[in-house]
Amino acid sequence: SSSSSSSIPSPPPPPVFLTQDMLKRIAAYKAVEFVQSGMVLGLGTGSTAKYAVQRIGELLQQGKLKDIIGIPTSKKTQEQALSLGIPLSDIDEHPVVDLAIDGADEVDPYLNLVKGRGGSLLREKMIEGACKKFVVIVDESKLVPYLGGSRLAMPVEIVPFCWKFTAQRLQRLFEDSGCVAKLRTCDDNGEPFVTDNANYIVELYFKKDIGDLNSASDSILRLAGVVEHGMFLNMATTVIVAGELGITVKNK
C-alpha cells in the first residue's frame, strides 16, 4: 500500500515549559556572572543556591575563575563546596565578604526577605550581613506583596531549653496578626529539627500582615531564648528573579 504519511505535516513543537527547578538554575547562573577571580564569596543554602555553588565549582575547574575563597552558610553547602574543590574559609578569617549569593523564601517589593526554610538562617544572616554585595536568586513564585504573606512560615531559631515557653511568647507577641507558632519537626521521624548550631526552629504562621517589620524584628530579638529570625531586612543589594517571561534584576 502506498504511504501517505509523508504528506502529513509534523506536529508543532511542544511549547517550551520551564519548570520551577529550571527557573532556579537560570537565576543562579545569572548571579554567578557577578563573580570575579580573587573574590571571597558567601555560598548560600537551598535548592536554588546549590546551582550557584555548582556553577562556581565548574568555572573553577575550567580555569575560568581563580583564587576564590568560599564561605559556606551551612554544613550542607560546606559538603557540596568541598566535593567541588572550592577552597573554603569563614568570617573569622575573612570578616569582609565581597559577594554572597543565596535563595529566599519570600521577597517583598522593597527587597526585604524571609529566609530559613532550609534552616540555615543564623549562619546566612551572619555571613550575608558581612557582605559588600548580597545577590538573592529566586523564581517568581517567591515574590510577595508583604512578608508573611505567602502562607509559608516565618522561621525563628530558638534555644532548645524550654522551647514551648519561647514558642508561646512568640505566638503572643503577634496575637493581633492571628499568629500560630509551631515547632519544626523532621519529616521522617517527627523529632524536632535541629539546626547546624544545635538549636530548634519555631515556625510562625500569620493570618494578617504583621505591620512594621523593624519593630517586629526588634520585639522577636528581645525575647530571651530567641537566637535569630528569618526576616532579612534591608540586606539584599540585588534580587534576580527568573520567570516564564525572562529574568528581572532588581537593585536596591
Which residues are the active-site residues?
124
Residue 2 burial by Cβ neighbours in a 10 Å radius (0-12, 13-18, 19+): exposed
Nearer to ligand 5RP, 7 or 80 (CB): 80
CA–CA dist 228, 158 (Å, integer) = 7
Cβ of residue 103: shortest distance to ligand 5RP, in angstroms?
Answer: 3
Residues of this chain that bind ligand 5RP (CB under 6 A)? 44-49, 102-105, 115-121, 124
Nearer to ligand 5RP, 8 or 198 (CB): 198
Cβ of residue 168: shortest distance to ligand 5RP, in angstroms?
Answer: 24
Give all strands (DSSP E) within the chain, no chain letters.
40-43, 69-72, 97-102, 106-107, 113-114, 131-139, 154-158, 180-183, 200-205, 226-229, 231-232, 238-243, 246-251
Cβ of residue 50: shortest distance to ligand 5RP, in angstroms?
Answer: 8
Query: Look-up: residue for cell 538562617?
Result: 121
Cβ of residue 51: shortest distance to ligand 5RP, in angstroms?
Answer: 9
Nearer to ligand 5RP, 11 or 243 (CB): 243
Phi-psi region of 162 (alpha: psi -120 to 50; beta: other; left: phi over 0): left
Nearer to ligand 5RP, 104 or 170 (CB): 104
Q: In this structure, what C-alpha cell is assigned to residue 94?
A: 575573612
CA–CA dist 166, 199 (Å, integer) = 13
